[in-house]
Each structure stands twice: as C-alpha cells, then as structure tokens.
A and B are shown apart, each in its own frame.
Chain A
Amino acid sequence: MSEPFEPKIITFLCNWCSYGGADLAGVSRLQYPPNIRVVRIPCSGRLDPKFILASFRRGADGVWVSGCHPGDCHYIAGNYFARRKFALLKGLLEHMGIEPGRLHFSWVSSAEATKFQQVVTEVTKAVKALGPAQHFIKKLPEVA
C-alpha cells in the first residue's frame, strides 16, 4: 500500500504579522496540517520572485506567501508594493503553465490565529488535490 501524498509547501511569513499569527496558532494549540515549511521574511515586500522560483525548482509542491493586511505594514507600505508584484508574478507564472492552485497569497495578522489555521488547511488541500509538482523541478545537480 502506497502512502498518501503529503505535499511540501514552502511558506514565506512576514515577521510582523503572519509569523506572529503562526506563533499564536501554535500557542493556542490550534491543529493544522504539518505540510508547511516556514521561512521568516522581514516583510512581504522583501519577497523576491526568485525565492518563489527557487522553491519550485528545488521540488516544492506549493508556495504560500503571507503578510500584513493592507494598511498594517510595519514599514508603512511594503505590502502595497508587494501586492502589485505578486499580482503580476502570479499572472505570469500561471500564464506559462504553473497550475493555478500551487501559488497562494494571503494577509494574516498576528491576532488571526484561526485565520492562519484556516488558510494553511485551505492551501494544503488545494496543493494536495493537484498532486506532486512535475514541471518546474530541476533534476540536474546545481553547479556553480
């Protein structure tokens, strides 16, 4: 009997909001799927498209990026700039054939532990439904 598919989802959380939300979810003992691998970033505006591509290239089945709600950015406007960047990036990646359910974005504040739990569940479900990533994985070893 084969094991059910468990996706690996690289998750970029903003230090000030979503990371705090994840922390609160943990402290509150909220149950959520263990498929996410969290990378803490200083602000959602710090997220370079290269990070998302690098995650996919190294075998991530999904990528989820989460930051502060609009208006709540610790650096005033980082997430507003990020929002435009994400919109165009998501459009481009999906246009070129990455399945729509692999890349997710959300706003989660540090008080929204339940929203965090809910989004993890949703994202994991969506990626699981697509099955393992096939396309954008580099099979050759990385050499400089």
Chain B
Amino acid sequence: MVEYIKKIQETAKRLLEDKTVDAVIGYRQGTIPMMNEPVLIRRADQADQLYWDSFCGVNLANYLAKRKERLAVVAKGCDSRNIVIHIQEGQIKRDQLIIIGVPCQGMLDRRKVWAKLGNQEPLSVREEGDQLLVSGKGFEESFKKSDLLQDNCAVCIHRNPVISDELVADPVVEQQGIEQYEDVRAVEAMDAQARWDYFEKLIAPCIRCYACRNACPLCYCPTCFVDESRPQWVGKSLDPTDVRTFHYLRAFHCAGRCTDCGACERACPVGIKVRQFTKKLNKDVWERYQFEAGMVLDGRPPLDVYRPDDPEEFIK
C-alpha cells in the first residue's frame, strides 16, 4: 500500500507541476479510520494529502460529469469503467483526462470490520499482506482481508483499470471462476409472492435519503425523476409504494450502465443491499445482449443500440 501511495503522490505532483492538469481527484484519509474521503488537489504542494488503502470504495467517476478543466483522476477497475461510460455519454472528453489507474485488490467493508469488533472502537487500521490490523484502546486484532471484502468486490472480475494513462503498479491477477449472480438466481427461483416479500423486507428500512443515487456516478441528470413534481412520478411520502417506485426507477436508470462498483450499497446509511436491484439488470443485459458496461471506449450502451434479431420471446 505504501508503494501505491508514493506512486500516486509522485504522479499527482508531476502532473500538477508540469501543468498537464488543473487538478487531481483522489482520496485522502478521513477523520475516522476506514472512511477515506475524496479530495480535489489543485497545487503540487498539497499532493502529499493523497492516500490509498483498501477503504477507497468511493467511486471518483462521480466527480467528473460536466467538468470543464483538465483533470487527473485516481481510478480502480470499476471507476475506470464508469469513466468510460461518462466518455460514451458525453459527460467528459477523453483528452481532458489523465487516468491514474490503480490495480485493485478489492475494497474492504467497514461495516464488516465494525461487526467483528463488537463494542471496541477502532482508532487506527493498517494493512500487512493479506492481513488487516485494527487497533484501539487496549486491543489490537488482525483479520484476514479476504473475509472483509465488500460484497461486490468479492465477485469482481475486472479489478484492473480498463483504460489508464499511468498505472501505479503492475496489473493484479483477475479472479477466476467466480459465480457472479448466485444471489440473483436464488431470488429468481422463488415464486412471485416470495419475491415480493423478499424485496419488501429488503427496502423496509429505507428512509429515502437518496444517498444511493448521490453516490452513483451514473446519476447526473440535472433534475432527477424523484424531484419532478408535474407530473409527479414518485410521491414524497414513506409509503411503501413510493419507496418501491423509487428503487425500481433508480435501478432501471442504471440498466446496462451499472459497473457494480458498490458505491450505492456503501453509501446506504441503513445498510440496504441496493445492488440486488441493479444486479438483476446486469445479469439480464449480459444474458440477453452479451454486454458489460464500460468495457470498451467506442461501444454504446445497450439501450442506445439494437439488433433486428434481439430476443423477443415475451412479446405476443
């Protein structure tokens, strides 16, 4: 990790000193452990704030839409795919960007660490090889990193950036033989009533704070459908129908664009597994149109193109 940090800082410094870019978007340490925050660095002497460890789950592509200046951005595999989507959708130009690619080993879920610690408060975390060392007042514990991965990182098959101008390390080995959609299949196997109940339970704690939407790099509309009032598509209340409508439409707007970066789930303050909605769509898009979002720069999103022989078994 130390090498990663050094390389990111060096690169950022060089790019800012050369005036190749106006700003660098990266991560810095948050005020409490395991909560790294995004930071926009404009001066070379601030570059030493940049940081990297396994808690950089925020998707930095979220800060790129409609920016005018030249930017360097730190990007994991999923972030780089979201950058590709931004370029495809005309949100930013490729030549505005220097992508500092970070081969990713999977981000860790702070909630899983907190759960393991119980009532002990972590004051600092450190990584050594495949171990995470957590220490606080009167304790030090170590955990295996692979047990603490974010759910989406555990099933990730694109850890290396798909586009980058600089790589901070050699590409990592991609995970092989991963069953990506096990949980979706389990839900699909239920009957309609059981599926209804499953999702009813899933979204019951939702407080409609829209954190999932705000954390998502795909959600850049000037006016979101939830804020439209004439006509009003989604009520403002906590009525279960309204909550469900929000989740349906939020997921549908990500259809064929979602890279499963897990930013939505990470941001949810009540811990709803919101990826259960988008994953179903990812699976369908893959099975029906053999498409994965953000993999090639000159591709178009699957709902923006068609083939005359697309499957239509469901149409009378």
Contact surface of A with B, Cβ cutoff 8 Å:
49-50, 53-54, 57, 70-71, 77, 80-81, 83-100, 104-107, 119, 122, 135-140, 142-144
- What is the predominant secondary structure among interface residues of chain B facing chain A? helix
Q: In the complex, what residues of A have CB within 8 A of residue B304's CB?
A: 81
Chain B, interface size: which category? 35 or more
In the complex, what residues of B have CB within 8 A of residue A139's CB? 239, 241
Contact indicator B310/A83 (Cβ below 8 Å) = yes
| Cβ-closest chain A residue relative to B288 | A87
Check if B314 sits within 8 Å of A92, measured CB to CB: no
A105 touches B196 (CB 8 A): no
Complex Cα gap A106–B316 (Å):
4
Question: Is A84 a contact partner of B303 (Cβ separation < 8 A)?
Answer: yes
8 contacting pairs across A/B (C-beta < 8 A):
A70-B308, A70-B312, A94-B192, A96-B244, A100-B192, A122-B316, A138-B239, A142-B235
Closest to A51 in B: B233
Interface segment, B44-52, B67-75, B251-259? Answer: B251-259
List which B191-246 residues lie within 8 A (CB) of chain A. 192-200, 225, 229-233, 235-237, 239, 241-242, 244-245
Q: How far is the CB of A91 from chain B (nearest CB, A)?
A: 5
Which of A85, A93, A138 is close to B303, meaning CB atoms less than 8 Å apart? A85
Question: What CA separation (Å) do A84 and B232 show in the bound complex?
Answer: 25
The 3 nearest A-B residue pairs measured at CB: A97-B196, A80-B306, A106-B316
B133 in the interface (beta carbon within 8 A): no
